[in-house]
Amino acid sequence: MTLNEPQNYWIELLDEGAYRLSSESGVCNFSKPATVRGVGKLYTLSDGESLIYVGIAQQPMSSRLNFGFKANGESGYHGYKWKKTTTEAAALSMDCKHRRNICHIARARNRRG
């Protein structure tokens, strides 16, 4: 199995669940395949050298991140736990592949620790 080259970004958290996405070329938006519904995405967020989150998504990444950043607990979901502890831009790295393969990779990573 092969994954696409990872897409690397930085996420700066703003007020009230908003965020700013940037890449090496400056402020940006997600592009394909990150914007495609139904394409499996394995994504990691890190703060410096510390891995703070590993997730998988089928929806567009902007939808997934908005859901995690804007959640306030009213529906029972409080969103990403780390959103209140990260003070600087977090690094986002994302690999995209068919869902079956992405889920297999995520389960293998979780078994290791």
pTM comes to 0.74
Instruction: Name the residue ranges covered by the structural domains of the chain.
Output: 7-112
Report the pLDDT value the prediction gives residue 79, as an integer from 0 to 100: 86
**Rounded Cα–Cα distance for residues 110 and 34 (Å):** 23
Report the pLDDT value the prediction gives residue 103, as an integer from 0 to 100: 43
**Rounded Cα–Cα distance for residues 68 and 102 (Å):** 20
How confident is the model over 40-66, as pLDDT tens digits? Answer: 899 999 988 889 899 999 999 999 999
Q: How confident is the model at residue 84 (pLDDT cuts 50, 70, 90)?
A: confident
What is the percent of the chain where pLDDT is above 70? 81
Report the pLDDT value the prediction gives residue 78, as an integer from 0 to 100: 87
